[in-house]
Structure 1
Amino acid sequence: MGGHGSNKNGNESLTSRLLGSGLSGILELVCFHPVDTIAKRLMTSTKKPFSSGQSSAEGFKMLNQVIFKDAANQSTFVKYKSLFPGVGFAAGYKVMQRMYKFSGQRYVRDYLQNNHQSSFKSMFGDNWKTMMHATAGRGATWTAARNAPGSFALFGGSAFVKEHMFNLSDYNQATFFQNFCASIGGAFASLAVSSPLDVIKTRIQARSAESAESGWVILSQMVKNEGFGSFFKGLVPKMLVVGPKLVFSFTIADASIPIISSFIDGKK
């Protein structure tokens, strides 16, 4: 499929997919990177805004200094810019991550639909399209085994909502609201499914080299000593912190790719 290929059978061109998924990464960075920066600065600061004996004005002044540092007394635009330290690397990473995940899934989906549609229909019946989208999401991130279950749930959950809640046969016809609802379903399913491996990975990384244990040992100890509920520790905070970012970027990608495709591919 060429960079400006035609938009036949609902398939977008490479350019449309890269632009749409890249846009989702850029907007996610613009909206959420400042929030992350503020949170980190508040957590690492030893100053105490609004402590006893301080007036409200003094408290806000100290809070302003903690959040904006050297830009505390600058213009609003300069303050906003100060919330993007190291943005060069972060921007490249975030945009490439979203382009790889969201545009890659669509190519795997197209391949499965063009070559293995009958197999999915025979195996999954009426749910063949949902399972195909889920499998495509898993295939798009096969190099990272930890991401596979989460990607499967992300795209599968989104497809399930579009098909069974909104009765959509062509997912590209989804409205922004429908894409938003589908992204919520996919994002929270993804976080829930990937939680057990995330907990194990975090415990492996938290151990020193001297007390290092394999993932299988940690898994068995968790089941024995803490029960299966331990695999979902920290899930609620993660949904509150990571969920909105994933919902936002997934919604933007799903909504913008067909729109961009209509402008670029429709000109042919």
Structure 2
Amino acid sequence: MSFQPGQAPDPLNTGPLDTGPLDTGPLTLSELWVYPIKSAGGVRLERSEVEPRGLKHDRRWMLIGSGRALTQRQYPRMRLTEISLLPETDTEHVFVVEAPGMPPLKVPRRPQGERLSTHVWDDETSGRVVSPAVSAWFSDFLNTACDLLHMPDDDARAQRGKPFSSLLSYVDGNPFHLVTLASVADLNTRLERPVTALNFRPNLVVSGGHPYAEDFWRLIGVGPLRFQVVESCARCGVLNVGGDGRAGAEPLRTLARYRRQGRAVQFGQNMLQGAALYRPGGVLKVGMPVVALERAEVPNPSYE
């Protein structure tokens, strides 16, 4: 089943939110981010290819232990990892990982190990072990036995139980995540210690407009591309992991005071690419104009 732009699906959560006006004004794509390894460091880009599962390289690798995904929820030290993509001319390695107390790690472009079944939440998926040396590096850093998997192109993971569908990488639930600098700035007026857009691990960061106008977007244009805005993002404890690799109480505690809708504390929007008569694909570039093409009178819901 596919989501129709402008349609207001039955939400899991209902109730008022502290929201801004719908008149957004000029909007610009100001930042692009990918997170090659789920729950590890982000890479800021000036341009990115759009692929069926999301931005190129985004969460196509994942650490697993005992058959389950490892994330900052259990291992906040993952926040300390830094990743640098290597040029396509490097045919042997795809990116470099750095972390405190560890030597730089070059990750092979082609996985060398066996294919394993695993899970992201309740979704069964799969991946190939990158290499024993890579697994040993991460096991040493996190002080737990784990393997780094790469998702093959033929893995069929997609959304379940939602009124829309898309192929997925190892993301929690949707291929694209967007936040606006206006909403981050509004949150910071309520915090003792400010946060940045990166705290929310977005793919697209939009500047301009009013705080929380994005709650009502149903279809947006980013340059020549189109994205369906299908779900408000229900935030979790990963948001409270600071740059020092330690978990605290903020900013989730403050968000819960004014951004709770039912069981969900919402901030940012999740998206799919494409619309009627539109062919997915293309390239996103920082500086592209963003236009809210369709809005609704009620905010986007969050789904379980």
Of structures 1 and 2, the one with the larger relative CO (CA 8 A, separation 6+) is 2
Q: Give the structure with higher Rg (CA).
A: 1
TM-score by length of 2: 0.22
TM-score by length of 1: 0.24
Higher relative strand content: 2
